[in-house]
C-alpha cells in the first residue's frame, strides 16, 4: 500500500515536470540564482552530460536549501568548464617530469632520441635487395593446385613494390593496414593475416557466372606499416602508399584495421582523383561523424574529418546500415545539414531492404564518377560477424550485404574498396572471417563483371538464374 502511494507521488511529480521545478525555484532559489546560473540550467546541452533534463534536475534539488543548491549548480558549471583545455605556462616544480605537466597536457610527447626514429615507415629500395629479381608479382605456390601453403589474399601472387604492380598490369591489389587503436575491442590488427589464411575470395561466382580470379590480374601487396601507438604518425604513410597503388593503375582492396583507416584511404583517393571528386559509400553500424574531440584522428570522427578537411562533399557520401546509440538528434541534424545521404536500419525496417538498396545504388551513381566503398564489418548483424570491434545488434544479413556490394562494384566505377574492423580473435568460429572474405569476393566479382561489360542493373547469370 505504501509502495503504491510512493509510486503515485512519483508519477505525479514526473507529470508536473517543469512545474515542480518552477515551484522549487519560486519558493527558495529564484533570488539566489544569478543570470549565469539561470542561463546554464536553461540550456539542455549543459544538463545532458549529467544525464539530466531540467525536470530531472528539479527532482535532484527538491528539498535542498538555497546554499546547497548553489553549491551543486556551481559544481556542475565548473565540471562543464573543466572539460576545456587548461594549460599551464609557469615553471614546472623541481624534479617533476615534463611528461607530468601541472596543467593539461597540450600534446603527447615523442622521443626524438629514439634509435632509428622512422624505421617502421622507410621502404627498402630494390637496389638494396640481397638477391635481385625482375619486377612483377611472384607466386608463393609450389604446386599447380595449391590452396593452403603460405597464405595470401585470394591466393594471389605477391607484389612488394609499385613497380611490381605496374609490371604485372595488376587490376586489383589487396593490402592490409593493421591499425587498430581506435576501435572498442581492438583486435582488428589481426584481420589481414587471418583473412589471408581463410578461403573464399576468388573462384567462380554463381550469381554473376564470372570467375574474378580468371578475369582480373590480382596481387597481394602485403601490409602497410603503421604505428601501433599512434594513428597520427601512420596517416601520411598509409595515404601515400594507397595513393601509390592507384598511381600504379590498380584498384586497392584495403583490409583494416579499424575505421580510423578510412581517413588516409579516402584522402588518398582525393589526392589521386581530386578533392570532392570521389563519392564514398560507407556501410557501417556507426556514423563515425563525431566532432570536436580531443584527438585529431580516430575511428569515430573520420567522416566529419574528411568533410571538414574539404576532401569529400557531404552530398557525395552515402551511408547504409546506421544504428546504435552513438548518434543523437544533434548528430543527425549536422549530417543532414552537410547533405549526407544516410540510410539507417530504421529506414530498412520501414521501407524494406530492396528499396533502400536501390536508393543507395542510385545515389552512388548520382555524383562523382569515382566511387570508394568503405565497408565496416559491423554493418552486418553480430549473427554474421560477431568478430567486430564495435558490434551492434540488428544489422544486415549476408544475403542483403552481398548483392549490395556486388552491384555497387559492378554498376559504378569503383576505384577502391576497404573492409574494416574485423576482429577475428573475438569470434571463436571461422564465421566472421568467412563472411568478411565473402564481402571481398562480392566486390571482386563486381569489378570482374564490369570488366566483362556485365554492368546492367542487378545482372545475374542466365546460367544460374532463369528469367
Partner 1 sequence: MSLTRNTFAFAAGLLIAQGAFAAEPEVDRRMPNFLKAEAKEDAEKAKKRADPLDALEYTPSRAGDVPTHIDAATPGLKPRQSLEIPDDVMARLAFLPAETLEFLKSGKAGTAVRPDVMFEKILGFETDEQIQAYMDAIQSVFAQIEFQEGRDKTAIALNTASPNFNNWRLLRPRDLDPARVPGPIALSRYVGGRGGGFSTFAGAPVAFNQADLRAGDVEVAIMGAPLDMGSGWRDARRGPLAMRVMGRGLGGTDVSTMVNPGRTLNIVDYGDAAIDQLSTERSVQEVRRMVREIAETGTVPFIIGGDHSLEYPNVAAMADVYGKGKIGVIHFDAHLDTGRGRVHLLDHGQPIYRLMKEAHVRPEDYIQVGLRAHYSKEYYAWQKLIGMRYHTMAEVERRGWDAVLDRVVKEARENTEYLYISFDVDVLDPAFEPGTGTPVSGGLSMREAIPIVRRLCAETNVVGFDLVELAPELDPTYRSTLNANSILFSCLTGMAMRKQGITETNFISDLSSDHGQDNYYGDAP
Least separation in angstroms between CB 293 and partner 1: 6
Q: Which of residues 228-247 bind partner 1 (CB under 8 A)?
A: 229-233
**Residue 113 binding partner 1, by CB under 8 A:** yes
**Residue 432 binding partner 1, by CB under 8 A:** no
Record the cell numbers describing residue 464, joined without a space. 544460374
Closer residue to partner 1 in complex, CB, 34/339: 34
Record the cell numbers describing residue 284, joined without a space. 557501417
Least separation in angstroms between CB 7 and partner 1: 19
Closer residue to partner 1 in complex, CB, 72/277: 72
CB 250 within 8 A of CB 171: yes
Least separation in angstroms between CB 123 and partner 1: 8
Least separation in angstroms between CB 307 and partner 1: 16
Residues 6+ apart with CB under 8 A from 24: 58, 61, 62
Query: Which residue in 195, 202, 264, 207 sits closest to 231, CA to CA?
Result: 264
Beta pairing, strands 413-420 & 172-177: unpaired
**Residue 28 binding partner 1, by CB under 8 A:** no
DSSP 8-state code for residue 249: T
Closer residue to partner 1 in complex, CB, 112/453: 112
Separation of CA 221 from chain center: 22
Question: How far does the chain reach from its first CA to its final CA, in angstroms?
Answer: 70
Sole binder of partner 1 in the list 139, 169, 425, 457 (CB under 8 A): 425
Q: Which stretch binds partner 1 (CB under 8 A): 333-341, 358-366, 413-421, 424-432?
A: 424-432
DSSP 8-state code for residue 84: S
CA dihedral (376, 381, 382, 386) in degrees, to 10, reads -40
Closer residue to partner 1 in complex, CB, 58/402: 58
**Residue 227 binding partner 1, by CB under 8 A:** yes
Q: Which stretch binds partner 1 (CB under 8 A): 1-9, 28-36, 214-222, 290-298?
A: 290-298
Least separation in angstroms between CB 453 and partner 1: 33
**Residue 102 binding partner 1, by CB under 8 A:** no
The CB-side HSE value for 450 (13 A sphere, CA atoms) comes to 18
Range list of β-strands (E), 304-441: 317-322, 341-344, 370-376, 413-420
Record the cell numbers describing residue 354, joined without a space. 530492396
Cβ atoms < 10 Å from Cβ of 179: 30
Cα 416 to Cα 418: distance, rounded to the nearest angstrom: 7
Query: Which residue in 324, 164, 188 sits closest to 262, CA to CA?
Result: 188
Sole binder of partner 1 in the list 7, 12, 18, 108 (CB under 8 A): 108
Residue whose C-alpha cell reads 550469381 in the numeric block:
207
Q: Compose the 59-98 pattern: x for residues touching partner 1 by CB under 8 A, - for all others.
A: -x-------x--xx--xx-xx--xxxxxx---------x-
Cα 17 to Cα 192: distance, rounded to the nearest angstrom: 54
Sole binder of partner 1 in the list 90, 125, 325, 462 (CB under 8 A): 125
Closer residue to partner 1 in complex, CB, 301/445: 301
Closer residue to partner 1 in complex, CB, 59/451: 59
Q: Compose the 137-156 pattern: x for residues touching partner 1 by CB under 8 A, - for all others.
A: -------x------------
Q: Which of residues 353-412 bind partner 1 (CB under 8 A)?
A: none
CB 208 within 8 A of CB 454: yes
CB 449 within 8 A of CB 404: no
Q: Which of residues 302-341 bind partner 1 (CB under 8 A)?
A: none
Least separation in angstroms between CB 422 and partner 1: 14
CB 387 within 8 A of CB 425: yes
Q: Which stretch binds partner 1 (CB under 8 A): 45-53, 154-162, 198-206, 211-219?
A: 45-53
Which residues contact partner 1 (rule: CB under 8 A)? 49-50, 52, 60, 68, 71-72, 75-76, 78-79, 82-87, 97, 99-100, 104-119, 122, 124-125, 127-128, 130, 144, 180-182, 185-187, 189-190, 227, 229-233, 292-296, 298, 425-426, 428
Amino acid at each position: 500500500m505504501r509502495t503504491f502511494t510512493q509510486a503515485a507521488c512519483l508519477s505525479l511529480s514526473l507529470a508536473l515536470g517543469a512545474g515542480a521545478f518552477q515551484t522549487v525555484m519560486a519558493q527558495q532559489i529564484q533570488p539566489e540564482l544569478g543570470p549565469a546560473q539561470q542561463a546554464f540550467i536553461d540550456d539542455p546541452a549543459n544538463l545532458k552530460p549529467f544525464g539530466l533534463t531540467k525536470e530531472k534536475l528539479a527532482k535532484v534539488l527538491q528539498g535542498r536549501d538555497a546554499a546547497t543548491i548553489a553549491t551543486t549548480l556551481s559544481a556542475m558549471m565548473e565540471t562543464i568548464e573543466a572539460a576545456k583545455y587548461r594549460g599551464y605556462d609557469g615553471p614546472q616544480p623541481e624534479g617533476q617530469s615534463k611528461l607530468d605537466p601541472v596543467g593539461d597536457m597540450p600534446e603527447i610527447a615523442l622521443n626524438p632520441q629514439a634509435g632509428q626514429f622512422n624505421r617502421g615507415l622507410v621502404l627498402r629500395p630494390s637496389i638494396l635487395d640481397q638477391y635481385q629479381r625482375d619486377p612483377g608479382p611472384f607466386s608463393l605456390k609450389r604446386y599447380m593446385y595449391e590452396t593452403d601453403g603460405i597464405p595470401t589474399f585470394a591466393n594471389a601472387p605477391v607484389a612488394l613494390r609499385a613497380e611490381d604492380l605496374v609490371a604485372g598490369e595488376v587490376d586489383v591489389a589487396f593490402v592490409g593496414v593493421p591499425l587498430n587503436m581506435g576501435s572498442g575491442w581492438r583486435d582488428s590488427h589481426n584481420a589481414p593475416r587471418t583473412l589471408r589464411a581463410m578461403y573464399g575470395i576468388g573462384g567462380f561466382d554463381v550469381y554473376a557466372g564470372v570467375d574474378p580470379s580468371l578475369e582480373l590480374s590480382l596481387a597481394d601487396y602485403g601490409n602497410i606499416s603503421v604505428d601501433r601507438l599512434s594513428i597520427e604518425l601512420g596517416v601520411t604513410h598509409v595515404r601515400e602508399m594507397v595513393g601509390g597503388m592507384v598511381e600504379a593503375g590498380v584498384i586497392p582492396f584495403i583490409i583494416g584495421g579499424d575505421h580510423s583507416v578510412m581517413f588516409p584511404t579516402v584522402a588518398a583517393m582525393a589526392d589521386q582523383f581530386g578533392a570532392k571528386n570521389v563519392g564514398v559509400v560507407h556501410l557501417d553500424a556507426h556514423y563515425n561523424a563525431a566532432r570536436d574531440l580531443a584527438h585529431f584522428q580516430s575511428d569515430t570522427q573520420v567522416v566529419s574529418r574528411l568533410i571538414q578537411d574539404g576532401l569529400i562533399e557531404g552530398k557525395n557520401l552515402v551511408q547504409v546500415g546506421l544504428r546504435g546509440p552513438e548518434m543523437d538528434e544533434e548528430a543527425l541534424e549536422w549530417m543532414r545539414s552537410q547533405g549526407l545521404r544516410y540510410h539507417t536500419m530504421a529506414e530498412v525496417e520501414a521501407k524494406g531492404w530492396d528499396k533502400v538498396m536501390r536508393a543507395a545504388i542510385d545515389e552512388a551513381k548520382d555524383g562523382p564518377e569515382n566511387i570508394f566503398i568503405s565497408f565496416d564489418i559491423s554493418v552486418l548483424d553480430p549473427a554474421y560477424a560477431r568478430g567486430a570491434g564495435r558490434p551492434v545488434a540488428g544489422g544486415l544479413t549476408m544475403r542483403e550485404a552481398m548483392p549490395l556490394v556486388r552491384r555497387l562494384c559492378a554498376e559504378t566505377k569503383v576505384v577502391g574498396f576497404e573492409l574494416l574492423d574485423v576482429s577475428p580473435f573475438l569470434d571463436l568460429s571461422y564465421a566472421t572471417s568467412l563472411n568478411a572474405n565473402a564481402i571481398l569476393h562480392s566486390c571482386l566479382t563486381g569489378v570482374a563483371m564490369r570488366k566483362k561489360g556485365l554492368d546492367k542493373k542487378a545482372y545475374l547469370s542466365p546460367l544460374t538464374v532463369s528469367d
